[in-house]
Structures are given as C-alpha cells and as structure tokens.
Structure 1
Amino acid sequence: MGINVTTGTIFFYLICGLLPLSVVAYFLATKKTYSVKYEGEKFHSTPGSYGWYAIVWTLSPALLASFVAVVLQLTGVVEVPGTALIAATIAVAAGGLWVGVMTVKPSLKARQVVEDLVVKMLFAASLVSIFTTIGIVISVTFEAIKFFEIVSLWDFITGTTWNPDEAVAAADTHGVFGSIPLFAGTFMITAIAMVVAVPIGLFAAICMAEYATPSFRKVAKPALEILAGIPTVVYGFFAAITVSPMIVNAAEFFGLQADFTNALSPGIVMGIMIIPLISSLSDDVITSVPNSLREGSLAMGAFRSESIKTVILPAALPGIVSAFLLAVSRAVGETMIVVMAAGLRPNLTWNPLEGMTTVTVRIVDAFTGDQAFDSPETLSAFGLGLVLLVVTLVLNVISLVVIRRFRQQYE
C-alpha cells in the first residue's frame, strides 16, 4: 500500500501524532529549566525559548523524514507504505523529543537557535515565489519552443491573420498564426479599461484621503471595495446584457453601427472592475505621505488643491504608478468579461465598436478544443503565454525604473 494521503491519515498524522509530542516536548523542556539540578544557575534564555527549542528538535527530523519519503514515493524510487511512514515519523519525532529535552542546559543559547531557524524558514518562504516563477517560465518556454519549431517566430509576431482552423484543414501553418490581431484587441480593451479606471480610481483615492470626513470614509471606502469581490462572470453578464445593448443603441442614435460583441463594452466594464484596485492602493499611498508636507504647503499659503497637485501627488507618485501597472496587468489577464462581451473573433481594427478578442481568451480557447496537445493550435497557447510573460516583464521593469526615478525619502 502506498502513501494514502486522506483526511483521516492527515488527522492521525498531525493531531494524534506530532502535535501531542510537541506539547510534551515544550512542557518537559520548560519544566527542566526549573529543575533543582540547576538551582542557582542562570539560564541563557527564557523557559519558553527552551520549550520551542525542544519542539524544533521534535518536529524537524520528523518532517524531514516525511518529506524524503514523499519524494521517494513520487519519483518511483521506492514504495513507502502509509502506515509505515506514520509509525516511522512518530518514532523519529519521539527520538528528537528525547534529544531536545536532554540537551537543555543553562549554557545552551536556545533563543538564538530558535531565531536562526525562524530566519531560515522566512528565507525559504521567500524563495517559494521565486522558484514558482522560474518553474512557470521554464514550462512555458519549453512548450513555446515546440510551437516555434512548427510556426515561424517572425510570422507569429508580424502576422495579421489568426485562423488555426485553416491550418488544421490545409495542414499548413504558414500565415495563419499571426498574433497581431490578438495583441491589438488586448491593448485596445486594456486601454479602454485604463481610461475608465485611472481617473475615477485616482480621484476617488484623493477624495477618500484628503477631503472625506472619517465617518464618510468609514462607509464609502468599504462600499467602493465591494466591487473587487464581485466575480468576473457577473461583470461579464453585466457587460453582455446591459452595457452592450446600451452601446449599440447609443451608436445608432449618432448614426454609427456597433456590434453587440464589441470591444468598448468589456473595456468599460473591466475599467469599473479595477477601480477598487487603483483606488485602494492609491488611497493607502496618499495617506502614507507625511502630514508635515501637507502642513508645510498650507503654511506657505497654498490652497488644499494646490498642495495635492504640487506636493502630495508627486510624493505618492511611485505608489500610484505601481497601482496603475498592477491594474494594467489585471486587465491584460482578464478573460471572462471579454469572452462574454467581445466575442472570439480575432479582428484587427481601430474601431472599438467592432468585436475583438484578447490573448488570454485565445489561450483558453486553445486548451478547451478537441485538438491534440501537440497540435499547432494547442501549442500556440504557449507561444502567446510566452509573449505575455515578456510583456509583463517589460511592465515590471518600467515600474521599477519609474519608482527609482521618483522615489524620495521622507523623515
């Protein structure tokens, strides 16, 4: 029997095994510091530090043994029975408990040992995101290379036609995997969303931070942030059922023609969706500007609006830029609203009243089809994903440059 990772196993493993041993280790180590054997001697650390030191000795070898067993099981090196794993882990924990309690003595620097372990744990936690990012980049890159072995990179970057169905029908990938219409639709819808979200979000942040009374802010800020908790599919329904017909009727009123699946509708709704993101982050940044700057500007005779424009906003500019770029990334990665309101047609146009689609929508469409995983249509998702990673990297670099350029230290 292999490792049976069930709820009952985990409960027995943690609650009925390691947790009681950890409590016993803490109690015995703490009690030992009050032993008559060491009467008159001064311990280096507090009793609690020695208790945590014993817990470290109890849990560390047990968790390490469990991790090694799981790795051996997953790699197929050896089959580890689940019951044997639990028994061995508890036995190792009991041995660690004995070592931890026996090594407790006045000269032991338990606090330093525990703090060093905490630092290492925090460092390991910080590496999780780094290794995750590296894993994502490697996995996407290798699959994208397979795609670019089939489709020319130059045709992919400069092509203006995206029609994978034609490639399947004609067994020819030349000229049908042009990504420009997809990225044009992505940038068009993102730009519309930013035009809606940035002014409203920034003005709302200024109002909340500089003009609103505490009672009004206490009610208005949570109410505004409720928008961030609404599922995107609900926004998609709102865009498709309410906003799109309004846009079509408004276009007809002015003598224009608009499709029901147009780029303007998801752009507006997406902008509404990310207003709380810009507003909340900008509000926090503006609020963190030292009051001495406000008071100094007002003392010089400036109006409050002049102080905001010439003092507070420049001081908060790095954080505002970060909020803006984060909102751009959020808009670029949105899928559901675009699917429901803009459609799936890759259309290269400057007219926002026509239907368009985005990169993320085509990625989802490539994976939800009935094509084989190694087909050009499916692998195209990795090519699009790789380009999106590059775009995100460029945005992050721009953000760092702007922040370092305008960052100021205030005391």
Structure 2
Amino acid sequence: MNFDDTPQEAAFRAEAKAWIKASAPHEFEAELAKASLGRIKLQKHDIVDVAKAWQKKKAEDGWVCLHWPKEYGGRGASPVERVIWQQEEGIYFKLTSPFQIGEGMCGPTLMAFGSEADKRRYLPKIASGEEIWCQLFSEPAGGSDVAGLRTRAERDGDHWVINGQKIWTSGAHYADYGLLITRTDPAVPKHKGLTMFFIDMKNPGVEVRPIKQANGMQEFNEVFFTDLRISDSQRLGAIGDGWNVSLTTLMNERMSIGARLATGFNELFEFCCNLMTEDGLAIDDRATRSKLASWAVKNSGLKYTSMRTISALSRGERPGPENSIGKLVSGAMLQDIATYAMDLQGASGMLSDPENAEAAGQFQAMLLSSPSIRIAGGTDEILRNIIAERVLGLPGDIRVDKDVPFNQIPTKGR
C-alpha cells in the first residue's frame, strides 16, 4: 500500500480544499461538529433545505457525483479523486445524507439499467439534489431475505398495477422518486420472479407513514402501495430479472455505507480526556485506557483496511471485499463504544437532551441508532455469510427454499 498522494492527486486535494474553504456554509460548522450518528439536525433550519442549497452549490462548480460521467451531472473524476473529496469535505458531508441513497444506490442502478432518455432526465437532478430518491426493498415479513418480498406487480397492457408494503425506507417522507422491487411471478423460485421499477413517490397510490424512532428522529418510514399504476417504461431490466438488478443496488449500498466508517472512537477518546469522574479524569483510569487501546487497534485496522481500497482505486484496480469487512466490524464497535461512554457517565447517561447531556448527548444518539447500522446494507449474519462463502470459499449455507416456487413456500407452522 502507498499512503501518499500522487502529484496529480495532491493537486486535486489542494483544489478541493481551497474550494471548500471558500464555499462551505461555515455558519453551520459548530452545529454540524456536534451532530452525531443518529441525530443530524439543525436547531433553526430545516436540514433538507440546507442540504439542498449545499448540494446545488457543489453541483454548479462540479463537486457532486464526481465519478459519474459529465453528461449525467458528474465530473468524470477517478474513483480515488472521489475518495479525496470525501476526506476533504469533512463535517459538511453530514449535509449530504438526504442524497446518499440517490447518489450511492439508485443512481448507479439507473445508470446500469435505465434507458438513455431516463439517464439524461433523472441522473443530473439526482446529482444536483433537485430530486431526492429512496430505496424500497425491505418488507415486514421478509426480514433480511430481500428475495422473500410479497409486494405484487401485475401486468395490465403497457402498465403495471402494484399493491403491497415496504418498511424501514429511509427518506421516503421527503423523496421525489423511489427504486421499487416487486414480485411479478409467484409461481417460480423466489429469486426468479422479481422485477425492478422506479416510481414517483408523489403518486396518489403511494402512502408514506413515518416511523417514530427511539432517538426521537423520524428518518424511516412505512410505505404502502394501493393500486399504484405505472408505465412499463419505468421498468429497470427484464421482467423476472429484478434480483440481478437489485444486486447492483445492494453492492453499491454496502460500498456506500462502508466508505464512511463511523465507530465513535475519536469522540470517545476526546470525551475521556475531558470527563471528570469520582476518581479523576477518565483517561487516567487504567481500565479505561485498556478499553481505549483495544478500540484504537481496531480503529487503526479499519483505517488501513480502507486504505487498501483507496490504494487499489488509485492504481485503477477493482476493490475487494474490504468494505463489507469494515461495515461488519465498525457496526459492532460503534454500539460497544456508545454503551461504554454511557456507562462512564453513570446516572447522567440517562439524559439525552443536547443542552443538558454530557458531550451534547452524542453517545445516547449513537447507541439508539447503532442497531440500525448493523442491519442496513446487510445484517451482521448476512455479511458473515458473504465473507465466508465469497471471500474465504467456505461451503454455502443450506437454503431449503432455493428452488421452490415462491407460492409453495410454507408460511405457517414454522
């Protein structure tokens, strides 16, 4: 691995740094610095409005979707230049959260399977933040089994009629469009009867119900489809080939999540350096230092594993499974660190109000959100199976329903 920028990369980094210094919304810097995973919001401004303004400014000067072709709203930059930009954007990256699904998951899928007309119509507006997209995959009865979905799409001439429900859809309440996977043939094995579409989230046949989360936020939603009628031109890929289309989305989802490894370690270290306990500063306690040392090693391992990906991108190579490994490790680490930080706070750990809680309630917000990180983009168990089977070459899991028609899979008495 080579951790140094090439001359070209160094020049690009300097250009990015100068533009951010001149153009970033510095008036929100202090609030964004305190915002933590699970609670990214502004006190006096709507986060989506501020995010759209920042995205528009970046788009006007060519700093969005850097790796996308220019004709689709990107910059035509190299993958490693995209990584450099993410590093330099720093805390202002928190303002990109409404657009991450569109840019990181829906956009690449549309680019791979959409018509040229659709790509030129939708991709530039995804890049500029003018239109926000969401991903409609998970269902109440499916759990981690995406292919077990039950939302039905039935053909009616040149249109499809869709009925069903999705859940845990991030950003659906402010999204303009969504990527929707449906079941179009229940008489074949579950992976073979799926078809992918994109839909207008403002259609009367779409109902969005926000889910109130334990941390007080409402980022997830239930989405119901009642006789939603869409054109066949909104289909992505062939009929019955939705699983292969979805793999493009899922692959980009895991890469998008893994690209920003949130562990909470830096926040915890700073917290321990300032927290006064009954026995003195937390950082002076041997047991605390032992915990920090263990997490420091893991944090360093995650950093340099990520560096392997960056180095591979810099050489023009295709990255390996490092992002899946990073997500698996960082998700559990985030939860453990948040739990320990609250233990250190004692009774005051029950406070979550940023105005009254230690460290502005960062660790409380982290802890309440950490379970979702271990589920989104693949649960720990799914990721372990992927690493075991596809990286280590171990025997595959037993899947008794693999070749059984979906409508013959038992649903009761399990």
Same fold (TM > 0.5): no
Bigger-Rg structure (1/2): 1
Instruction: Calculate the TM-score normalised by the size of structure 2.
Output: 0.24
Instruction: Calculate the TM-score normalised by the size of structure 1.
Output: 0.24
| Structure with the higher fraction of residues in helix conformation | 1
| Structure with the higher fraction of residues in strand conformation | 2
